[in-house]
Structure 1
Amino acid sequence: MSEQQGPVTRTAVVTGASGGIGAATARLLAREGFTVVCAARRLDRVQALAEEVGGVAVQCDVTDPDDVARLAEVVGPRLDVLVNNAGGAHGLDPVETARVEDWERMYAVNVIGTLRVTQALLPALRVSGAGIVVNVGSTAGRVAYEGGGGYTAAKHAVAVMTETLRLELVDQPVRVTEVAPGMVRTEGFALTRFGGDRERADAVYAGVAEPLVAEDVADAIVWMATRPAHVNVDLLVIKPRAQAAQHKVHREP
């Protein structure tokens, strides 16, 4: 992306931007004055989003090295904000009977995808002189729960990767942060987890009057990303008031 004359245009990349937290984050970053590179597998959806926010659409599967290389080419030599949001959960089976393919898919997207994109864009983040990486983790990256072995393993890995990268870049002009949401009701997360089973997806939120929504998490991400360059918000855990812990959720009768 070519630099404009005059003040440097601030740019941001959001992966998994085709819906939910990613799309909400792209919209809010655009309102804050960023040119947003909206990256996701579903090109039609990110094209519509990019047109809406005055950004750039890139079709990108974060597990595909060629796609990630193309994303880096579009971004160019300078980047201010990277939001690694692409991820997701598949299945809610016990470890004993879980599908290995589900675990592999979750690890590939949540962990290896985040790694690929971060490696590809770190040089551009350094050039900005005040770059920031915001990894979208989860409270599942801190607490185990029955049936969540594959997802919690992946999100624990994201948490440790974030902590390790922060140590390794302590002398670099790049901040490394994580936002860890709890129960967030978006149009796709639970449906994806249960293979499109609407009844099971809806049951996740049954009786919870006010789960988080995508805009709540986006607000947290953008707040983190727009702190002064010397301020690093290592970890921000955000949950609805009704969720005291992974296993403790108040549900109305």
Structure 2
Amino acid sequence: MGRIVLVTGGGSGLGKAVAARFRASGDTVIITGRNADRLARTAAEIDVRPITCDAADPSQVAQMADELGPDLDVLVNMAGGNTDLDRPEAQNPSLEQVMTAWRANLDANVLTAVLTTTAVLDKLRPGGSVITVGSIGAEHAASSYGAAKAALAAWTAGLSSEVGPQGLTANSIAPGYIAETDFFRGKLSEQRRTALIDATHNGRAGHPSDIAETTFFLASEGARHITGQTLHVNGGAHTTR
């Protein structure tokens, strides 16, 4: 019998790729996102169930959890992104502007995962998984986006110890540069793109399927003794030991 899988931010990009991978294996998949029209189009395209939800809004998250049903096997916290790319770059920003920018990235990347996980944790059945998508940016956390993703990795490590006794795993995936998504909102120069690829050991950009397959593996029987970890999927652009 297939699993029940929830993917936040599943309407496009990496979230869509992850949702499609689980659905292809026969799992029942629910995707959430703020854009109802885009969510509906994606749901029809890959045969999943949409629930419109702003994962940074506690009331909407609570309603989503009620609509979800009593059982869940896999939670993929994908909602997020660099909110700095959605605002004009300010020269010599005021303290108020700095605060607003930092709060936006913390809300979009940390609170979305924390609220969603808290709301559905009691639905996860033994053998289930919480998988949270961070970023290579967490290794260079001078920006609010990097700091938010670093916080996600630390939170995931702590979450693992809390949910382990329930038979659950909790891991984070940190992608490097992934092509074929709208992450950079059209603001990635060719020079920067080349530099990101040159930083890898295998000489290529990542693809959404790289993240989808890693996510699928972490939710598999073969990964039951992997928990509390951050898996870096970046072609060697950042290495660990």
Report the TM-score, using the length of structure 1 for normalisation: 0.81
Counterpart CA distance in 2 for 1:244 and 1:170 is 28
Specify whether residues 107 and 244 from structure 1 end up closer, same or farther in structure 2 by C-alpha distance, changes over 3 A only.
Answer: closer
Q: Given the alignment of the two structures, is residue 131 of structure 1 paired with residue 125 of structure 2, yes or no?
A: no
Q: More displaced, 148-157 or 24-33? A: 148-157
How many pairs are equivalent? 225
Counterpart in 1 of 2:193? 205
Counterpart CA distance in 2 for 1:65 and 1:244 is 34
- Structure 2: runs of 5 or more not aligned: 198-202
Q: Please give the residue correspondences for 1:1-253 in structure 2 after superposition, counting only pairs within 5 Å.
A: 7=1, 9-91=2-84, 97=93, 99-125=98-124, 128-141=125-138, 143-144=139-140, 148-191=142-185, 198=186, 200-203=187-190, 204-206=192-194, 208=197, 210-228=204-222, 230-233=224-227, 234-240=229-235, 243-244=237-238
- Structure 1: runs of 5 or more not aligned: 1-6, 192-197, 246-253
Counterpart CA distance in 1 for 2:133 and 2:206 is 15
Counterpart CA distance in 2 for 1:86 and 1:138 is 12
More helix by share: 2
Runs of 4+ in 1 over 6 A off after TM superposition: 92-96
SS in structure 2 opposite 1:105? Answer: helix
Aligned-pair Cα RMSD in Å = 2.3
Amino acid at match of 2:70: P
Query: Post-superposition shift, 1:95?
Result: 11
Counterpart CA distance in 2 for 1:117 and 1:206 is 36
SS in structure 2 opposite 1:190? Answer: coil
SS in structure 2 opposite 1:167? Answer: helix
Deviations 1:167-201 (A, max 9, x none): 2223112111111111112432111xxxxxx3x32
Specify whether residues 144 and 163 from structure 1 end up closer, same or farther in structure 2 by C-alpha distance, changes over 3 A only.
Answer: same
Specify whether residues 95 and 239 from structure 1 end up closer, same or farther in structure 2 by C-alpha distance, changes over 3 A only.
Answer: farther
Query: Post-superposition shift, 1:24?
Result: 0.3
Specify whether residues 239 and 69 from structure 1 end up closer, same or farther in structure 2 by C-alpha distance, changes over 3 A only.
Answer: same
Deviations 1:121-163 (A, max 9, x none): 10011xx22110000011222x226xx4211110111011101
8 Å contact from structure 1 (residues 35, 55) kept in 2? yes
Query: Post-superposition shift, 1:103?
Result: 1.2
Query: Post-superposition shift, 1:55?
Result: 1.6
Counterpart CA distance in 2 for 1:71 and 1:132 is 19
Specify whether residues 244 and 79 from structure 1 end up closer, same or farther in structure 2 by C-alpha distance, changes over 3 A only.
Answer: closer
Counterpart CA distance in 2 for 1:180 and 1:118 is 18
Counterpart CA distance in 2 for 1:214 and 1:132 is 20
Report the TM-score, using the length of structure 2 for normalisation: 0.85
SS in structure 2 opposite 1:36? Answer: strand
Counterpart CA distance in 2 for 1:41 and 1:69 is 15
